Amino acid sequence: MTPAELSRTVLHAVRRAVDDGELRVAELPERVLVAPPGPGGCGDYATNVALKLARPAGQPAARVAEILRPYLLRSHSIGDVVVTGPGFINIGLARTGTDALVREILRCGSRYGHSDALSGQTVRLRPVREVRAVVHAEALKRILESQGAVVHLDGDGPGTVVRPVPAPSDPFRLGPDAGRWALLYPASHDRPRIDDGHLAQRESNPLFRVRYVHARSRALLRNAADLHQEPEPGPVGDAQALGQVLADHPRVLAAAAAHHAPDRLARQLVAVADAVLPLYPAVLPLGEEKPSAAHRARLALADAAGAVLAGGLSLLGIDAPDHL
């Protein structure tokens, strides 16, 4: 479930509670904001809708949250609802099978995880005059826009100042893609490492792993087409770890936007690449093995992972080549 879908689910729960007479409010909100839980929160997402409805409903926010809780739990996509603090609703998503998840990712393509959670918000970013700050601000603009925000990059005037730890040397001697990765992969408060390790085509280089896994997913699709085999979502054994990291992608992307932290997205892409790589040897039939539904399901899962990697790299401003 994406943040946008969860927002609509919460709004539907509010409407049901009003229709049933459990909540008495004259006017329903047009939209509900969901975001990664803050300090003291839990689950995948949190919403302050109960605090917004408390005054119109004439009840404490915590009571409004408890009224909404059973309505939210009616959704098959929600696994748990916990009320914390003065009335924040913390939502844990239900973990579904990989086939449903893969269908959702393939439907969205590289836009999987995009939402309108920040729709209506305008953000002004003011990067200081330094290369890492500019690259951070450009990546943040794309990430925030993926969540529906309107973003302006302003060198002067009011706004959020983007001031990560500066690069110790020119990162673009590594090339545009490796240079951006070198600046975005570390947290903004960490000193970036600018060296030729970002160019190494070996497993120890996170950027190479991410781009290699993406390129290999495209190669598997080409090879499968030669065998007249198409991806078809279905159950995949021993893919729980990969399913979890793919299901977590919308939350991580929302958190990267909320905390202005592109490094969270970069680390998520590494996690996806590391989780999908063990799947690849079993995607296509080997030797005299005949193509089966299991092969088609693994191919669909590899295709979905490749789409997530391509979409994430694009938000970071990095190319995702089909061939390496």
Q: What phi and psi, each to the nearest 5 degrees, are found at residue 122? A: -115, 130
Inform me whether the pLDDT recorded for 284 exceeds 80: yes
Q: What is the pLDDT of residues 91-124, one digit of tens each?
A: 998 766 788 899 999 999 999 999 988 888 999 9
Cα 137 from Cα 143, distance rounded (Å): 10
DSSP state of 119: T
At 131 the pLDDT is: 97
DSSP SS3 for 58: coil
| Contact between 132 and 165 (Cβ < 8 Å) | yes
Inform me whether the pLDDT recorded for 128 exceeds 80: yes
Cα 202 from Cα 52, distance rounded (Å): 51
Where are the strands (E) in 76-234, listed by range? Answer: 78-84, 88-93, 122-127, 150-153, 160-162
Q: And the tokens for 211?
A: 């781009």
Closest CA to 84 of 56, 53, 50: 50
At 3 the pLDDT is: 82
Q: What is the mean pLDDT of residues 50-65?
A: 94
DSSP state of 37: -
> Cα(first)–Cα(last) distance of the chain, in Å?
33
Cα 74 from Cα 263, distance rounded (Å): 35
Q: What is the pLDDT of residues 199-250, one digit of tens each?
A: 999 999 999 999 999 999 999 999 999 989 999 998 887 787 898 899 899 9
At 76 the pLDDT is: 78
Inform me whether the pLDDT recorded for 265 exceeds 80: yes
Closest CA to 280 of 205, 224, 204: 224
**C-alpha distances in angstroms, 290 versus 231, 232, 273?**
15, 16, 27
